[in-house]
Amino acid sequence: MLHSATMTNIIERLYQCFRGYTIPDHPTGCPCCVSADDYQRLRSKPLRQLTENDLWRYSLKALNTWGDEDQFRAILPRCLELCADRSSFFDRSMLFGKLRLAEWRTWPEPEHQLIQTYLWTLWQDSLNSLDESVDELLCAIAQTGLDLHPLLMSWDTQLQTLIGLERYADLLDRHMATIIDQNRLQGYGWPNSDATAISWVLDPTRREWMTTAFANSQHDDESRLLARILEWFDLYP
C-alpha cells in the first residue's frame, strides 16, 4: 500500500471505529438497479480483501439505489483505504460525494472526527508527494462539504519549497484561464466551494510574496517556477 505510516494508523482506526456496522445478509436496494450477483460480490471475500473492481458498482449506487447509511459505514473503511492507496484507481470524488450525501458530519463525534483526520492526512501526504495531482484531490475533498480554507492555508506553508511552487504553478496552468474568463475553476466536479479556492489562488499578498521571491531568487528552477506563476497573474485583470 502506497501511503504513509500515519495514514496506515488512521486506516486501522477506521476499521475499529466502524466495526459495529455490517453488510446485511440479504440484498438491499432497487432490484432493477442492483442484482443478486452485484450484492454477492460484496460478500464474496473479507472486507479488507475487496478490490476497487469489487466495490466500483456499489460506490456508484450507494445511498441512491443501493443500501442505507449503516451499510455504507460498514464498507467505508475499505473504500477509504483504497482512496489512500496511490496505486489504486478508486474514484475519490464519487466516494467523497457519498460522504456528503450521508451527512457524515452529523455522525457520532468519534466517526466524523476520524474521517476529518483522514482527509487532512490524505491532503498532507499529497502535498509532500509528486506522485499525485493535488488539484484533483482538492476537488475530491470539496465533494465532502469540508471547509477547504485550512487545507489551502497548509499549502501556503509549502510555497517556499520547489514541490509546493510546482504544485501551485500546475494549479494555475489548469485553472487560471477559466478563472479569468468565467470566474470559476476548470471542470464541472467542483461544488460551490470553488469560490474558496479561487480566493486563495488570487490572494494579492501571495502575488506580492512571489514577486519579491522572484527578484531575490538565486536558483534557476525556483526562478522558472516563479516566472511561470507571475505570468498568469499578469494576465488577470
Note the pLDDT of residue 118. Answer: 97
pLDDT in tens, the chain (237 residues): 567 899 999 999 999 999 999 988 776 777 777 888 888 888 889 999 999 999 988 998 899 888 899 999 999 999 999 999 877 888 899 999 999 999 999 999 999 999 999 999 999 998 887 767 788 899 999 999 999 999 999 998 888 888 888 889 999 999 999 999 998 898 777 876 678 889 998 999 888 999 999 999 888 999 999 999 999 999 988
**Contacting residues for 228 by C-beta, under 8 A, at least 6 apart:** 169, 172, 173
Return the pLDDT at 163. Answer: 85
User: Closest by alpha carbon to 84, among 133, 123, 113?
Assistant: 123
C-alpha cell at 143: 465533494
Run of H or E residues at 178: helix 162-182
Write down the pTM of the prediction: 0.91
- Give the pLDDT of residue 95: 93
Q: Facing residues of 66 across strands?
A: 62
pLDDT recorded at residue 15: 98
